[in-house]
Amino acid sequence: MKPNISTTIGTVELRSCIYNASGPLCATKEELNNIGKSKAGAIISKSSTEQYREGNPKPRYFENELGSINSMGLPNMGLDFYLNTSEELIQYEKPFFLSIAGLSLEENKKMLSKVVDNEFVSGVELNLSCPNVLGKPQTAYDFERTKFVLDDVCKIKDRCFGVKLPPYFDLIHFEQMAEILNQYPLDFITCINSIGNGIIVDIEKEEVVIHPKGGFGGIGGDYIKPTALANVRKFRQLLKNEISVIGCGGIKNGSDVFEHILCGASAVQVGTQLMREGVSCFERIENELIELMKLKDYLDINTYKGKLGVVNSM
């Protein structure tokens, strides 16, 4: 029997637990349609602001064998474009999630209010963690501000709703953020966004590899997988069961997906590998996950989700 890799986020059903991360190759109509045609279990848009944004100056993305660095600056087509495109995307019979990243609380509230009138958006991912907008701090590193934002935006919630978080590193910060998140009717969290403000050096040119912020940018790919797994694991332990955890970070093959689910993820998002390989990555990764599950005699992802073991002491 073929293993079942479907999952449910809130009330939204996904045929596959693997889909794209908000960011790479999901800004334009062509890119969104390509994801729709692929084996991705859902479609999520580029993080949208109310109006069109050009983003940061180029070069703003670079990758190597270990991962990527970017300082994109939220280039996107604007909210109305994604709302208008959502009706076209229903032909693919998979959920469409809208990512929003307003530059202020009022902008986020205004955008969420417009989503209320749209029947084609399955869910909303509120990005509290973009590290690459000049002059704007990451909301989710300010716990009081996060609570203030959630107090307001959750009043507008009318469908599947969650937040995208930055990476946390101290155990007390996991506990403090989980205590806040557990107070709200969230359906999911996505963790993690890129690790902010890293630098990659071109040793031949003796310079940084991207232009914005003097070369500082968000790190993704293999570089961040251990941190992503730790965030998935800890939040799954701390959050109430009603809040699903979506893993993101360092996923390039079926084994990586398996590890995220073992740590407690209900679904995973693919970022850097999507940039490298294009949408064909979803079919390959899905097949690799299914083969691994066959080897382990797992019939569905819930059989092993969150069941990561610990090493016995010597």
- Please give the structure tokens belonging to residue 266: 């209900």
pTM: 0.97
Buried b (16+ CB within 10 A) or exposed e, 246-278: bbbbbbbebebbbbbbbbbbbbbbbbbbbbeee
**Which neighbouring-strand residues pair with 208?**
201
Q: Indicate if the pLDDT at residue 216 is higher than 80.
A: yes
180-197 tens-digit pLDDT:
999 999 999 999 999 999
Is 230 domain-assigned? yes
Q: Which of 229, 187, 217, 251 is nearest to 20 (CA)?
A: 251
Active site residues: 129-130
130-152 tens-digit pLDDT:
877 777 789 999 999 999 999 99
Mean pLDDT of 257-279: 98
Name the pairing type of β-strands 267-270 and 244-248: parallel
Q: What is the CATH number of the domain that holds 17?
A: 3.20.20.70
Q: Where in the sequence is the domain holding 234, given as residue range(s)?
A: 7-55+74-195+223-303
Is 206 domain-assigned? no
Where does the chain show beta strands of DSSP type E? 7-9, 12-14, 18-20, 43-44, 61-64, 67-70, 96-100, 123-127, 160-165, 188-191, 195-198, 201-202, 207-208, 217-220, 244-248, 267-270
Is 162 domain-assigned? yes
Is 64 domain-assigned? no
As a whole number of angstroms, the distance between CA 264 and CA 244 comes to 9
Q: What is the pLDDT of residue 139?
A: 93
Is 314 domain-assigned? no
Is 216 domain-assigned? no
- Please give the structure tokens belonging to residue 87: 């009706």
Is 13 domain-assigned? yes
Report the percentage of the chain scoring pLDDT > 90: 96
**Domain count within the chain:** 1
Is 205 domain-assigned? no
| Environment class of 237 (CB within 10 Å of its CB; exposed 0-12, middle 13-18, buried 19+) | middle
